[in-house]
Amino acid sequence: MRDFLLAEQDRAFRAEVRDVLRRELLPRASAIEDGDDWDAIKAVVRALGEAGYLKLMFADLYRGALAKPGLTHATLLSEEAAYINYAFETTIATALSCAYPLHRHATAPIREHYLPDIVEGRMVGAICVTEPDAGSDTSRMQTKIEFDAARREYVIRGLKRYISNAGVADVYIVYGVTDPSAPPGKGLSAVVVPGGTPGLTFPRRYTFMGRRGCVVGEVAFDRCRVPADHLLGDENSGGRIMVGMFNFERIILGGSGLGVARSAFDIAQAHAQTREAFGEKIGCKQLVWSQIADMSCRLDATELLTYRAAKLYDSGVAGKNLMKPAAMAKLVATETATYCADRTVQILGGDGITKEFGRAEQIYRDARALPIVGGTSEMAKYLIAVADLPSIKLNL
């Protein structure tokens, strides 16, 4: 049974979002996939912003029909967008991940300067965490954020990589070390760096096997200076801000994985009921229908875990109490996406690996990023085990 944890208003919202995305995103999906068309992505972001969908996380800003908008509805948006085009979905997920700390932790002038434009789709943001030697292990972060008391400015030096919207974002939220004497992973802060800041450059854009159309690359900071009020929260509180952002991001990625998995499953399901071999539909073959059954079970598990985590967030669960449910949603959803994509290609045979015969090969390429981005599957399992084994200290 799909939508088991969703209320009637949630289901109505899903139908509404689906219609908007079919109108705005579906006609542009080919331009994004085949033409690497950033303008097409920006046009859909703007349409979603104008519709109010980028304000779902912020009840004080939202003016739509939902009585209690929240992460459940942002996750529904993510799922439905990823169903059509995961590359596009990464852009709005990044926009939401950027808006989240701005809304919660920015000073009033900075929040008012950037947040309305991001949630209304006029600006695009970026989150800068990963570095050449710091991925899941943020304790290895080398980017330095130093305070120049004489000029009341923060000075940023370092290199970030695998940054979504690198070079096309209007604003960057940058994490770095403000207290080098603190234990590894501590002494971090987050600052807001406007696009166009002197010393801000983009050395490289990456070419991925999938997610064509989204822009991902490196962001370098060569003594970039921002005023003191561009600090998010308090100095050395970046780790806490990051944990809140990661919980939020992992639940959104649950929606992403679910959308990609559903898209693959629908293709396999249709093919199994129409393709004939050896005198009957291939769905009659045990080796095919058993794979359909496996995919269906995993989809239901993904949906239950993802929307459980989203509902927990919306009920006020946060911080370490949300870490395990968020990690479980992310782990199962992204692994389900890769499983469904792989099995769909296998069921389709030659048609599954040929671009001329549909989207299966694109979904296969897109899905492979999901168990890596936003924290690897291995890291998600670690977070789950930490919660389940509280009396011992696990060794990564």
pLDDT digits (tens, 9 = 90+) for 331-372: 999 999 999 999 999 999 999 999 988 899 999 999 999 999
pLDDT for 340: 98
- Ranges of each domain in the chain: 8-119, 125-236, 239-388
pLDDT in tens, 273-283: 999 999 999 99
Assigned fold of 8-119: Butyryl-Coa Dehydrogenase, subunit A; domain 1 (1.10.540)
* CA 154 from centre of chain: 28
Per residue in 229-255, pLDDT (tens digit) is 999 999 999 988 988 888 989 999 999
Q: Average per-residue pLDDT in the chain? A: 94
Would you state the pLDDT for residue 319?
85
Can you give the pLDDT at residue 395? 81
Q: What is residue 372's predicted lDDT score, i.e. its pLDDT?
A: 94
pLDDT tens-digit readout, 293-324: 999 999 999 999 999 999 999 999 988 899 99
Write out pLDDT tens, residues 117-163: 999 999 999 999 999 988 888 888 999 999 999 999 999 999 999 99
pLDDT of 76 reads 97
Pick the CATH number of 239-388 from 3.40.309.10, 3.40.50.300, 1.20.140.10, 3.40.50.2000: 1.20.140.10
Q: One of 249, 303, 335, 361 is an active-site residue; which one?
A: 249
Share of the chain above pLDDT 70, in %: 100
CATH topology of domain 125-236: Butyryl-CoA Dehydrogenase, subunit A; domain 2 (2.40.110)
Q: How confident is the model at residue 104 (pLDDT cuts 50, 70, 90)?
A: very high
Q: Model confidence at 379, in pLDDT bands (50, 70, 90)? A: very high
Active site residue 249: yes
